Amino acid sequence: MPFEFERGEIDNVLLIKPKVFFDERGFFLETYKKSLFAEAGVKEDFNQDNFSFSKKGVLRGLHLQRKPKSQSKLVRCVKGEILDVIADVRANSNTYGEWLSFKLNDVNQHILYVPEGFLHGFVVLSDSAIVHYKASNEYCVNCEDGVVWSDKTLNIDWQTKDPIVSKKDKLLKNFIDFEAYR
């Protein structure tokens, strides 16, 4: 099997560990196989791919896209290392307001499945990082929402001091003012 699917501590979250084939030329791995992902519970069709380059200390997030264009994501760090963070904001979830973090990098090649109804963000731990992710819906400016990365209620340990954050992300609301995802 080219993938190991590890269940997260929050329902529906998966850490996907692809099998990496090394030889004298380098390595090869599959990063997505619809049939195997569906067997593991990832049944969405992915409609948009995103690619970012960021410098050390850059923090992007915490973002969410609401219905009718809500998004599930498959996130992978192609180069460098990031701390990827998700927070459960699904209404009536028994883990509402809880967050998890995962180190994704070009050595472990792990892929994080982020279901709909989760805030998502990451911070770059290496000198730079290239992140690629698949999204189940196209970007919709009228559907975007989020919570400021430094929110005191969530109290996320970003494992960095003084991150570089966009003006837009600095203006996101606090968790206490955020409407649960329905």
| Contact predicate 124/118, CB 8 Å | no
Q: What is the band of 24 on the pLDDT scale with cuts at 50, 70, 90?
A: very high
- Domain parsing of the chain, residue ranges: 3-177
Nearest-angstrom CA–CA distance, 36 and 13: 16
Nearest-angstrom CA–CA distance, 84 and 98: 14
The one catalytic residue among 32, 63, 132, 181: 63
What percent of the chain has a predicted confidence (pLDDT) above 90?
97
* Bridge partners, residue 129, by sequence: 54
Q: Does the domain made of 3-177 have the CATH classification 2.40.50.140?
A: no
Note if 110 is an active site residue: no
pLDDT of residue 19: 94
Task: Dump pLDDT digits (tens) for 121-175.
Answer: 999 999 999 999 999 999 999 999 999 999 999 999 999 989 999 999 999 999 9
To the question of whether residue 66 is assigned a binding role by annotation, the answer is no
Has residue 37 got a pLDDT over 90? Answer: yes
pLDDT of residue 18: 96
Taking residues 96-105, report their average pLDDT: 98
Task: Dump pLDDT digits (tens) for 59-100.
Answer: 999 999 999 999 999 999 999 999 999 999 999 999 999 999
SS (H, E, C) 19-72: CCEEECCEEECCCCCHHHHHHCCCCCCCCEEEEEEEECCEEEEEEEECCCCCCC
To the question of whether residue 23 is assigned a binding role by annotation, the answer is no
To the question of whether residue 167 is assigned a binding role by annotation, the answer is yes
Has residue 1 got a pLDDT over 90? Answer: no
The one catalytic residue among 110, 113, 133, 181: 133
